[in-house]
Structure 1
């Protein structure tokens, strides 16, 4: 776990502004944009923690995502600017402080599920909101030990082996 510092604040505000601007800059639904963003090279670059030294204009992120995935008009539901800002900030805070990749966070809680938590959690400190989400979803925020990683891999392999037999 990393201390939330000035660089963290900068990168959280940056991602929050990208999410908020997605209302203007994209034609796809908000959940679609968030899925694409959280799995994009842009998010992976932000995960590397070198952002403060290489900051670009938020609008460039949309060009990079379109270049990676192609433009999209899929989805029609658009979230409010406040919801999007909060979601962008919270996702990035989570990645920054806990050292977790954006794509892994998105697998734990997708855009539609996170949006349902906005009314109850948006006034909480981001750390408190993340802890409550983890507790409610039944996963730990602590990194897995090597033994836990090996055990997880064994369970995944066993599950896939059972599927092949059936």
Structure 2
């Protein structure tokens, strides 16, 4: 797992603000916006951190998503500003620290799941929240824990064959 740095925190803040601003500036539902964003070219630029070389602001990101996919009026369910901010932050923090693409992170945990976890998890450190989400899904992505798990399986197999 990669340790987050200053650039990573800037990216988390930028994405969180874009997600929050989408409530007032986008016509689609929050889930439609999030799906489009997480699979967009701008998300790929955030993944490779090349967006840091530009002067794009949160509202510019919303415009780029609309340009890529077209304006959508689909869906009516809007999350709260706080939920969207947290979801945007958690998605980016997850992508950076586990070195996953936005699309892969989106496949692992959907916006509806994150929304349900907002109240119990929003006060946790982002790394703790992500760890709990992965643990609940049975996806231990911590290398040390995974090696320990594999060793235990190997040990059981060896003990059984004697």
User: TM-score range, shorter-chain basis?
Assistant: 0.7 to 0.9
Instruction: Tell me the secondary structure at the aligned position of residue 71 of structure 1.
Output: coil
Query: Which position in structure 2 is the counterpart of 1:8?
Result: 8
Distance 1:141 1:3 in 2: 14
Q: Give runs of aligned pairs for residues 82-161 of structure 1, distance below 5 A.
A: 82-142=82-142
1:18–1:58 CA contact under 8 A, matched in 2: yes
Distance 1:102 1:55 in 2: 21
> By how many angstroms is 1:53 displaced?
2.4
Query: Which position in structure 2 is the counterpart of 1:58?
Result: 58
Distance 1:33 1:66 in 2: 9
Query: Which position in structure 1 is the counterpart of 2:154?
Result: none
> By how many angstroms is 1:62 displaced?
1.6
> By how many angstroms is 1:54 displaced?
2.3
Instruction: Kindly provide the CA deviation profile for residues 102-155 of structure 1, in whole angstroms up to 9, marking residues without a partner as x.
Output: 1011111111111000011000000000000000011132589xxxxxxxxxxx
1:49–1:96 CA contact under 8 A, matched in 2: no
Change (3 A) 1:89 1:48: same
Query: Which position in structure 1 is the counterpart of 2:69?
Result: 69
Query: Which position in structure 2 is the counterpart of 1:161?
Result: none
Distance 1:44 1:140 in 2: 25
Q: Give runs of aligned pairs for residues 15-34 of structure 1, distance below 5 A.
A: 15-34=15-34
Distance 1:48 1:21 in 2: 23
1:16–1:85 CA contact under 8 A, matched in 2: yes
Can you give the 5+ residue segments of structure 2 that lack an aligned partner in the other structure? Answer: 147-162
Distance 1:87 1:129 in 2: 11
Structure whose alpha-carbon radius of gyration is higher: 2
CA RMSD of aligned residues (A): 1.7
TM-score normalised according to structure 1 size: 0.82
Distance 2:142 2:107 in 1: 16
